[in-house]
Amino acid sequence: MNAKSLLAFSLTAMLGVAASGTAAAQSSGVLVRNDGIYLRCDQCGTVQRVEQNITQGGGHGTAGTIIGAIAGGVLGNQVGKGKGRKLATVGGAVGGGFAGHAIGNNAGSNTSWTVRIKMGNGSYQNIQVKDASGIRQGDLVQVDANGNITRIQ
């Protein structure tokens, strides 16, 4: 074997070892913080995306309409005398029905957040949380066994 072949073989072997070392570091749970400190954590990852989820209410508009109309009619009946009282009762029932319908349709609406995390071992996790106000894209986080997310400072 001549010197050029030996040199080419050595460079190829060194590049292969360097590439396998990088792959091992990426798949072994090693992350780098913004200040350059390396973290080894199998339950840690980098936030890729934070998405808001809004679930509409249960659609209890009919019940809300009935309850609102009754309450509005009772309150309207307390106002005025004679024809004014009748008009206030009808107006209260109609207004209460509209308000009750709107409230009934929105009752039970729910907001949650889905946080997509690229874990240190290269896998991805989607965690649903009620509040993601302290989590931003690019943050390093730790996920516990219960699915709770803690931001790493």
The confidence score (pLDDT) of residue 58 equals 60
pTM, to two decimals? 0.48
CB 151 within 8 A of CB 139: yes
The confidence score (pLDDT) of residue 116 equals 95
The confidence score (pLDDT) of residue 98 equals 76
The confidence score (pLDDT) of residue 82 equals 80
How far out from the chain centre does Cα 153 lie?
Answer: 20
Alpha helices in 52-127 (DSSP H): 61-77, 83-106
* Distance set, CA 66 to CA 33, 46, 61, 79 (Å): 58, 50, 9, 21
Q: Are strands 124-129 and 44-55 parallel, antiparallel or unpaired?
A: unpaired
The confidence score (pLDDT) of residue 67 equals 81
Which strand (E) or helix (H) includes residue 12? helix 3-27
Q: Are strands 149-151 and 38-40 parallel, antiparallel or unpaired?
A: unpaired
The token pair that represents 38 in the structure block? 């390396």
DSSP state of 37: -
The confidence score (pLDDT) of residue 49 equals 93
The confidence score (pLDDT) of residue 109 equals 65
Closest CA to 113 of 46, 55, 67, 33: 55
Instruction: pLDDT tens for the chain, 153 residues: list them.
Output: 555 554 445 545 444 434 333 223 344 567 777 778 787 888 889 999 999 887 766 666 677 778 877 887 777 778 777 878 878 788 877 887 777 777 776 666 678 889 999 988 888 999 988 888 888 999 999 998 888 888 887
The confidence score (pLDDT) of residue 3 equals 53
Closest CA to 102 of 72, 71, 53, 57: 57
Please, what is the angle between helix 61-77 and helix 83-106, to 10°?
A: 150
